[in-house]
Structure 1
C-alpha cells in the first residue's frame, strides 16, 4: 500500500541540555495527492513518558496536495529520571480517515545521564565555627523575609518546589514539574511557557472558543483549528450550528463533516466540493464545467462540457435528475480520471462569523 505521508526528523539523536531539555523537528510530506488535515501524536519507546513531550506549535496541520509542514517537538525530562536510553517516534494521521491514512516517522533517541558523583575531600573542620555563624545570619534573614511575605516561590521555567508555594506569583506547576504562567502572566516568550498554551504579546492568555479570532492553532481551544483567522471545527467536531463554524464549510446535525464529491447526496451547496453544486439532492457539475457523461451535469446534457443544450427537462421530482431530457433515477457515472483532473477542493469562500 503506498505511503500516505513521508515523516522525517532533523536528527536521530538529541543531546539534552543541562536542564534536561531538548527539541527536534519533524517534516511531514503529503503523498495522498489531495488536501488533508493531519494530527500528530507522540509514540513513546520503552520507559519514555508521553507527558515529557510538548508541541509548541500545535499538533495539527492542514496540507495542500503534495504539501509539507514542520512539526517541532519539545521535551523536558524531570529531575530524578533514572539514567539510561530513551526515545520516541511521531505518528501522523488524517483526521478524516485515520485508520487508512497514517504513517510513523523515524525514532529519535536521547540519553539521560547519571549525575556526577563528587569526589570526597577531607572535611575542613575549621569551617564549622564559620558555618555556624553563617547559619545564624541566614536564619535571621529568613525569619525577617518570612514575616514580610518574601517567599514567592520558583520563577518561570524553574522546577516546582516540593512545598507551597510551589511556584511564584501568577505561575503554576505545569507539565514536567516546571513553573509556567497562568492567564494574565507577563513575561512569556512562547506558548510552552503558559499553562494555557497561548502566549500573545509576552502575556499568557486563555485560548479562544469557537468563532474566536486567532493567529495560530495555539490560540484555539482543542480540538478547534485556526482557519482564516477564526477558530473553527475540523471534520468530526461536535458543537457547530452554522457551516462557517467548520473548516470544511459543512455542518450537519451539530457536527462538522467533510464535503462530498460527484454523485454523493447533499442538502445544500455547502455539502459539495467546489466547483460542484447541490442539485436535486446530488452533487453535480454546473454548466460550463468539463464532463464525460450527461448524468454528471445539472442540465443533463454533456458535450465535453455541461451545457443547456436544445432540450430541457421539465421540473424533475426531488431524488431524480435530468439526463438528456428525461427525469430518471440517478445512475451518476463517476469518472475517476475526470475527478482527478478537476482537482476538487473544499469550498474556501467561508464568511467570518
Structure 2
C-alpha cells in the first residue's frame, strides 16, 4: 500500500537542557493526492511517558494535495525522572479516515541525565532568627485565610486536588487529572492547556462555529476545519446548507460530501473535481483540456485535447453522452495516468469570507 504521508524530523536525537526540556519539529508531507486534515499524536516507546510530550502549536493541520506542514513537539521530563535514554514516534492520521490513511514517523531519542549533586554551603544561622519571625507572620496569614473559608487550588498543568477547589481560579480538572484553563483563562501556551482546545493571544477562548473566521485548526468547533480563513465542514459533516460551507465545496442533503472524479455520476458542477464539469449527469473533461479517449469529453471528440467535432449530436437524453457523433450510454474510459497528470483536486471556488 502506498504511503499516505511522509514524516521527517529535524533531528533523531534531542539534547535536553538542565531543566529537562527540549523541542523537535516534524514535517508531514501529504501523499494522498487530495486535500486532507491530519491529526498528529505521539507514540511513546519504552519508559517514555505521553504526558512529557506536548504540541506547541496544536495537533491538527489542513494540507493541500501536495502540501506539507510542520508540527513542533515539546519534551519536558519532570524532576526525579530516572536517568537514561528515552524515545518516541510521531503518528499522523487523516481525521476523515484514520484507520486507512496514517503513517508513523522516525523515532526521536532524548537522554535524561543524572542531576548534578548540590554544592554544600555553610549553614546560614542568621536565617534561623529570620525564619522564626516569618513563622509568626505565616501563622497570622493562615488564620486569616482559614477564617475566609480556604485558599486557591492547584495551578495550570498541576495535578488536580482530591478535594474542592480541585483547581485554581479560571481552571478546571481536565483529562489526565491535570488542571487546564476554562474560557477566559490568561496564561496558556497551547490549545492542550485549555478545556476549549483553543488558545489565542495567551488566553483560552471558545471555539468558533460554522463559517466564522479562523486562523488555525484549533479555532473551530469539532468536526469543523479551518479552510481559507473560515470554519467549514469536512466530508461527512452534517448541517451544511450551501457548498461554500464545506471544505470539499459540495453540500448534498445537508451533508458535506467528497467531490467525484472522471466518469462518476453528478447532479451539478459542485459535485465534480476541478477541472471536470457535470454534463449529462457525468463528470467529464471540458473542451480544451487534455484527454485520451472521446468518451472522456463533453464534446464527444478527442484529438489529444477535447475538441468540437465536425459531426455533432442532436441534444442527447439525460444519462447518455455524445461520442463521435452518436448518443450512447457511456462506457467512459478512466485513464489513471491522465487523472494523475491532471492532478484533480477539490474545487477552489469557495469565496473568501
TM range (shorter): 0.7 to 0.9
> Residue 231 and residue 279 in structure 1: after superposition, are their counterparts in 2 closer, same or farther (change >3 A)?
same
- Alpha-carbon shift at residue 220 of structure 1 (Å): 0.9
Task: Classify the secondary structure of the residue corresponding to 2:145.
Answer: helix
CA deviation map 1:131-183 (0-9, x unaligned):
67654442222111333467233444555555433433212344565543210
Q: Any conservation in 2 of the 1:316–1:322 contact (CA below 8 Å)? A: yes
Asked whether the equivalents of residues 26 and 71 of structure 2 are also in contact (C-alpha less than 8 Å), the reply is: yes
Query: What are the ranges of 5 or more consecutive residues in structure 2 without an aligned counterpart?
Result: none
Query: Is the deviation greater in 227-236 or in 304-313?
Result: 304-313
How far is the alpha carbon of 1:245 from its aligned partner? 2.0
- Number of the residue aligned with 2:145: 145
Q: What is aligned with 1:224?
A: 224
Match of 1:198 in 2: 198
User: Partners of 1:53 and 1:265 in 2: how far apart?
Assistant: 46
Per-residue CA deviation, residues 27-76 of structure 1 (Å, 9 max, x unaligned), is 12234555544332322323444455433433333334543211122355
Give, in whole Å, the separation in 2 of the partners of 1:61 and 1:239: 22
Q: Secondary structure at the match of 2:270?
A: helix
C-alpha RMSD of matched pairs (Å) = 3.7
More off after superposition, 263-272 vs 25-34: 25-34
Moved more, 127-136 or 177-186: 127-136
Change beyond 3 A, Cα 1:97–1:140: closer
Question: Following the alignment from structure 2 to structure 1, what is the Cα–Cα distance between the partners of residues 32 and 99?
Answer: 14
Question: Comparing 24-33 with 147-156, which one deviates more in the overlay?
Answer: 147-156
Q: 1:60 to 1:200 in 2, by over 3 A?
A: closer
Matched position secondary structure for 2:167: coil
Q: Please list the CA deviations of residues 69-104 of structure 1 after superposition, one character each: whole Å capped at 9, or x if unmatched.
A: 111223555677777654321122345555554321
Distance 1:191 1:101, change over 3 A: closer
Pair 1:184-2:174 in alignment: no
Q: Is the 8 Å Cα contact of residues 41 and 90 (structure 2) preserved in structure 1?
A: yes
Superposition deviation, residue 228 in structure 1? 0.9
Q: 1:197 to 1:36 in 2, by over 3 A?
A: closer
* 1:264 to 2:260 alignment: no
Q: CA deviation at 1:295?
A: 0.8
For each residue in 1:236-276, what CA deviation from the matched residue of structure 2 results, as whole angstroms up to 9, or x when unmatched? Answer: 33443432222111233444332121111222211111110
Rounded to whole Å, the distance in 2 between the matches of 1:97 and 1:158 is 34
Change (3 A) 1:175 1:118: farther
Structure 2 CA distance for aligned equivalents of residues 148 and 97 of structure 1? 54
Does the 8 Å contact 2:271/2:278 carry over to 1? Answer: yes
Deviation at 1:278, TM superposition (A): 1.0
Query: What does 1:46-57 align with in structure 2 at a 5 Å threshold?
Result: 46-50=46-50, 52-57=52-57
TM-score (norm 1): 0.82
- Secondary structure of the residue aligned to 2:140 is helix
Mapped partners of 1:63, 1:295: distance in 2? 33
1:276 is aligned to 2:276: yes
Name the CA shift for 1:22/1:153 in 2 (closer, same or farther; >3 Å).
farther
Show the counterpart of 2:313: 313
Equivalence for 2:351:
351
Residue 23 of structure 1 corresponds to: 23
Q: Which residue of 2 aligns with 1:8?
A: 8
**Displacement, 1:226?**
0.4
TM-score normalized by the length of structure 2: 0.82
Query: Which residue matches 1:209?
Result: 209
Change (3 A) 1:180 1:105: same
SS in 1 for 2:226: strand
Q: Partner residue of 2:286?
A: 286
Number of paired residues?
A: 353
Question: Whole-Å Cα distance in 1 between the matches of residues 33 and 82 of structure 2?
Answer: 45
Match of 2:338 in 1: 338
Contact 1:95 1:235 in 2 (8 A): no
